[in-house]
């Protein structure tokens, strides 16, 4: 078996493991969301989303370092430098501890000020909002310190363990929902506390598993390589602009929605985000499975293969998104009624917009991983920060002028689609990346799939009244129709033949049984 075949097999195996994880977490997550909305109510659900968004704003300072750690660990593993890997791991943990202290100081000052002065919190719920803030901050710190361990799992491509732990975490959150239903006190405060407990339990498991299976995963507080820390800091420093712009474009806009429209609209956005996150979880499995191979191939000098993987991953990501996007957009209203029973106002429209928002974000993730693999991110980061940084001020201006609440989605989608164009030209300067080839091999089939996949499901929506009968006819029909469009219009001849061969092999195995 050649290296390419071995890599493809590993990517396929890891993707299947991640899909199994995502399917379970999706089912549990959707049920959890229904129970949570019923247990907390619309107002408390909205409070949790807006206050949790304050903590998520800290990704301006923290997620950049986490992404840098993941990239450097994967790159070093590809180079095969074991001693440097040990040094990098302990230095990374120490760096995350420092970042946690910075996050605590920043969020305590800004978060408390916002809750007391800027947030639109219903009367009598400010104390609960403060509890949510403090618990969310603890969850953030636990997550930061866990990130080097998560990076090791992904770098070593132990996707099965990553999948099992995610399923366990989803199960624990489901148990929290049942506890909330039976609890007579302040459910919002209890929920925030129990989420911290789940995060701490998962952190302990990651530390135990990595310590038993990876030689480099033995943390020492004395190991703090200043030169390596400088590399991580410089790499992540440029990413601060990029991640900061994205954070303000998402969580910052969520805060604007709270200030201009109130927590009811935050609850509607929270519902849309939950389904959208579940869909992104499915789609991002391609990114997670492709990412180590992109970085490792680049580390060994095979840049053309890295570009090939990134292009291929982008095309697959787009098509996978559409398999979910079409049925969800066509049957959003019935889907939400089946899921929640009582649907918050604006949730249907927000969900449809959120699906296209997800497409705009996920379609460029493999290209972003390719830029990170190269390591020369200064110019790209400046360009990306300027582009994505327009979303927050533009949304504020539109809201101030009286535009409707859904305007933020339109601004976000158009901006991130343009950001993908920015990535094309930056990649061309860094490596042998052909924009013309990308347009021919990736964008043309993706646009073709996008146009044709809506034809039949829209026809069903036009000729049938909305309801359960149309839902149970149109959803499977939309999935099968879109999948067929992807196979016949989105795959290359070799990929299509590979798909047919796999179907034949699977069919033969079933018949032999």
Looking at residue 493, what is its pLDDT?
A: 85
pLDDT over threshold 80, residue 150: no
Task: Please give the mean pLDDT across all residues of the chain.
Answer: 78
More reliable by pLDDT, 390 or 69:
390
507's CB contacts (< 8 A; 6+ apart) are none
More reliable by pLDDT, 295 or 286:
295
Query: What mean pLDDT is predicted for residues 271-278?
Result: 74
Looking at residue 10, what is its pLDDT?
A: 57
Helices within 57-81 (DSSP H only): 63-79
Number of domains in the chain: 1
Instruction: Retrieve residue 160's tokens.
Output: 């099965």
Greatest mean pLDDT among 235-249, 330-344, 454-468 lies in: 454-468
Looking at residue 512, what is its pLDDT?
A: 67
Q: How far is the C-alpha of 315 from the C-alpha of 445, rounded, in Å?
A: 8
Looking at residue 59, what is its pLDDT?
A: 47
Of the candidate ranges 4-13, 102-111, 223-232, 248-257, the one whose mean pLDDT is the lowest: 4-13
- Give the pLDDT confidence of 29-48 residue by residue, as tens digits: 667 766 777 777 767 777 77
Query: What mean pLDDT is predicted for residues 182-199?
Result: 84
Looking at residue 208, what is its pLDDT?
A: 86
Greatest mean pLDDT among 5-9, 102-106, 467-471 lies in: 467-471
- Give the pLDDT confidence of 85-108 residue by residue, as tens digits: 777 778 777 777 877 787 788 778
What is the extent of the structural domain holding 132? 3-512
Q: How far is the C-alpha of 384 from the C-alpha of 349, rounded, in Å?
A: 28
Interior angle at CA 23, CA 18 and CA 26, nearest 5: 115
More reliable by pLDDT, 361 or 160:
361
Looking at residue 23, what is its pLDDT?
A: 64
More reliable by pLDDT, 300 or 412:
412
pTM over 0.85: no
pLDDT tier at 448, thresholds 50, 70, 90: very high
pLDDT over threshold 60, residue 12: no
Q: How far is the C-alpha of 222 from the C-alpha of 217, rounded, in Å?
A: 14
pLDDT over threshold 80, residue 227: no
C-beta separation of 438 from 447 below 8 A? no
C-beta separation of 266 from 50 below 8 A? yes
Query: What mean pLDDT is predicted for residues 210-214?
Result: 81
pLDDT over threshold 60, residue 271: yes
pLDDT over threshold 70, residue 513: no
DSSP secondary structure, 215-279, as one string: TT----TT---HHHHHHHHHHHHHHHHHHHHHHIIIIIHHHHHHHHH-HHHHHHHHHHHHHHHHH
In the block, tokens 């959003």 appear at 332
In the block, tokens 């100081």 appear at 105
- Give the pLDDT confidence of 318-360 residue by residue, as tens digits: 888 888 889 989 998 888 888 777 777 788 898 899 889 888 8
pLDDT over threshold 90, residue 473: yes
Could you tell me what percent of the chain has a pLDDT over 90?
11
Could you tell me what percent of the chain has a pLDDT over 70?
77
């Amino acid at each position: 078996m050649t290296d390419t075949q071995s890599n493809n097999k590993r990517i396929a195996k890891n993707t299947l493991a991640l899909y199994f994880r995502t399917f379970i977490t999706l089912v549990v997550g959707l049920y959890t969301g229904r129970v949570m909305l019923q247990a907390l109510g619309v107002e408390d659900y909205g409070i949790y989303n807006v206050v949790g968004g304050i903590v998520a704003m800290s990704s301006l300072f923290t997620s950049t370092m986490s992404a840098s750690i993941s990239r450097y660990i994967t790159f070093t593993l590809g180079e095969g430098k074991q001693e440097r890997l040990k040094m990098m791991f302990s230095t990374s943990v120490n760096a995350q501890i420092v970042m946690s202290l910075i996050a605590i100081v920043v969020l305590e000052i800004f978060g408390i000020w916002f809750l007391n002065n800027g947030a639109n919190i219903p009367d009598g719920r400010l104390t609960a909002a403060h509890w949510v803030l403090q618990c969310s901050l603890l969850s953030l710190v636990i997550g930061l310190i866990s990130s080097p361990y998560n990076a090791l799992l992904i770098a070593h491509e132990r996707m099965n363990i990553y999948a099992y732990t995610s399923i366990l975490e989803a199960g624990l959150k489901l148990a929290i929902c049942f506890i909330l239903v039976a609890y007579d006190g302040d459910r919002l405060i209890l929920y925030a506390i129990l989420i911290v407990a789940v995060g701490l339990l998962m952190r302990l498991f990651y530390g135990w598993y990595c310590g038993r299976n990876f030689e480099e995963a033995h943390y020492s507080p004395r190991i703090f390589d200043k030169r390596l820390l400088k590399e991580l800091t410089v790499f992540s420093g440029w990413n601060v602009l990029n991640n900061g712009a994205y954070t303000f474009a998402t969580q910052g806009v969520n805060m604007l929605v709270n200030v201009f429209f109130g927590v009811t609209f935050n609850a509607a956005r929270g519902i849309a985000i939950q389904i959208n996150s579940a869909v992104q979880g499915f789609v991002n499995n391609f990114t997670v499975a492709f990412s180590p191979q992109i970085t490792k191939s680049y580390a060994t000098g095979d840049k053309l293969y890295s570009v090939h993987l990134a292009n291929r991953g982008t095309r697959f990501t787009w098509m996978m998104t559409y398999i979910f996007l079409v049925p969800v957009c066509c049957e959003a209203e019935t889907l939400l009624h089946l899921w929640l029973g009582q649907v918050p106002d604006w949730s249907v429209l927000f969900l449809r917009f959120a699906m296209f928002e997800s497409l705009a974000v996920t379609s460029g993730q493999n290209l972003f991983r390719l830029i990170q693999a190269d390591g020369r991110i200064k110019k790209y980061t400046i360009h990306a920060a300027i582009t994505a940084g327009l979303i927050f001020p533009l949304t504020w201006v539109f809201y101030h002028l009286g535009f409707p609440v859904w305007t933020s989605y339109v601004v976000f989608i158009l901006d991130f689609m343009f950001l993908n164009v920015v990535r094309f030209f930056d990649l061309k300067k860094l490596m042998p990346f052909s924009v013309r080839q990308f347009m021919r091999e990736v964008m043309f089939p993706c646009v073709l799939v996008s146009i044709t996949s809506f034809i039949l499901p829209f026809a069903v929506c036009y000729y049938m009244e909305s309801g359960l009968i149309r839902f149970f006819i149109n959803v499977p029909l939309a999935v099968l129709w879109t999948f067929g469009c992807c196979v016949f219009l989105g795959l290359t001849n070799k990929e299509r033949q590979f798909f047919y061969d796999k179907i034949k092999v699977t069919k033969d195995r079933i018949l032999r049984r």
